[in-house]
Amino acid sequence: MFVQPAEGYDLLPAIEDLQISGEPYPGNELHACGYSINGTTSCNFEWVCHLEDGSVNYIDGAKQPTYLVTADDVGLYLAVEAQPLDDMNRKGELVKVFANDNHKIACHPQMQSNIDKNFHTGHASYKVSLATGSRDIWEAATLSIKREGYIIKCNNDLTIAEKFSASTAVTIPFGKPAELIILGSDGSAHSLRADNESTDLTGSRDEIVLTLRLFIKRVNVCKNTLLLFDE
């Protein structure tokens, strides 16, 4: 039953039927949309990741209705929060909806198959570009990932070779859909850009990131296992 608001009382802005469209795989864009009611003139969006322990991580820079899913989201629950506002800047009730039907974000089956194959063979090779000197200068290179480390070899004969360690990390700069950064144990940082011109997912930035992280994890697990046996 509809109840007429009391005289002088205005309903707060609101969003109805907030939904997320798009395939929730790394490398794909998601779009949040809903129906504006009660004089809503704008809406603030924030994309967040929920962990199994109940903690919430707001994704830096992700404040638009469109969001590019990345390797960082895999294994987490991804959601968008929408805060409606009216022309008097009054805030309505915060609305939240989860991507992937409230399931964890996973890889596309093809990408997962590529990663599994690389892991079992113990080797992967990708065409990339390496930022040298200035981030405006990119050199064509090949990234080779092996069981114990990685090698970046440029066409100009520059070669970077490092072994994986507990401090090796791979990060994704926000707003750079093809870029990744490998942080070495010595404090070095190597900025790479995936050169993936094919229509499939082979060699994409997110596949490279997930492959690197899997190899790093395996090395650290093996080292921890050896330490247990040595005690």
For residues 190-228, one letter each, b for 16 or more C-beta atoms within 10 angstroms of the residue's C-beta and e for the rest, the string is bbbbbbbeeeebebbbbbbbbbbbebbeebeeeeeeeee
Cβ burial, residue 134 (10 Å; 0-12/13-18/19+): exposed
Residue of 26, 72, 61 lying closest to 181 (CA atoms): 72
Contact 193, 179 (CB under 8 A): yes
Q: Set out the domains of the chain in order of their start, with CATH numbers.
A: 14-102 (2.60.40.2700), 109-230 (2.30.29.140)
- Residue-wise pLDDT for 77-87, tens only, equals 999 999 999 99
Structure confidence at residue 224 (pLDDT): 58
Q: Which long-range contacts (CB under 8 A, 24 or more apart) does 47-56 make?
A: 47/78, 47/79, 47/80, 47/81, 48/78, 48/79, 48/80, 48/81, 49/73, 49/76, 49/77, 49/78, 49/79, 50/76, 50/77, 50/78, 50/79, 50/98, 51/76, 51/77
Contact 149, 218 (CB under 8 A): no
Structure confidence at residue 4 (pLDDT): 47
Structure confidence at residue 6 (pLDDT): 44
- Residue-wise pLDDT for 5-29, tens only, equals 444 458 999 999 999 999 999 999 9
Residue of 115, 76, 133 lying closest to 213 (CA atoms): 115
Q: What is the pTM of this model?
A: 0.87
Round to whole Å and give the CA distance between 35 and 38.
10
Whether 3 shows a pLDDT value over 60: the answer reads no
Q: Rounded mean pLDDT of 181-202?
A: 83
